[in-house]
Homo-oligomer: A and B are copies of this chain.
């Protein structure tokens, strides 16, 4: 979303709530009554399968919205859980309706954001379908680092990384044990590593090349 949209949302003085790590924000199957915006902290969007395994669909960072699908389609198709302590802004459906009625560009902003997320989802699908273990981990780390950098939440060579090995495994489609092997390999190949809840990337270009990652391109955008 663009700054003007954010200003409009702020003007509605939405409720702000703080939640500890490990709290469910939305649960699969619930009715979608609220649109959240993540202000501080990280959250995980995931599916839990019948056999107990989990697939992490996306990592939600400060500034991301939570629960739009549930609001517009009626029922949440996935769960979201806080990974760290978080603070979220909450907008009831009524407020969302008011916002779109008053500012038509808001809806367009949502669509644009959604399309950007589709692109990241496409890349993640490609990574799961076609890359080896170390490259998957590399890509995943790279993507998070780039997203944080764009939001001014990371330096060039490091960023916070509160995911545990298990979370990482559930995100990149590997077992916890194999993630360890992939991390060692990755360190040998690119010197990137996890340490003390931080991702350290001494040579970002090298990691990007290793992962086949490239910054999303932007051209002139249509304004509807």
Which A residues lie at the B interface, using CB under 8 A? 29, 31-32, 47, 49-50, 53-55, 57, 68-69, 71-75, 77-78, 93, 96-97, 100-101, 104, 107-108, 110-112, 114-119, 121-126, 128-130, 170, 172-173, 212, 216-224
Contacts and interface: CB of A to CB of B under 8 A. Distances in A.
A86 to B, nearest CB: 21
B122 A73 contact: no
Contact of A53 (B101, B130, B218): B130
User: How many chain copies?
Assistant: 2
Contacts of A97: 222-224
A interface SS class? helix
Contacts of A170: 129
A173 B72 contact: no
A108 B212 CA distance: 35
A54 B122 CA distance: 12
A125 B128 contact: yes
Nearest to A77: B119
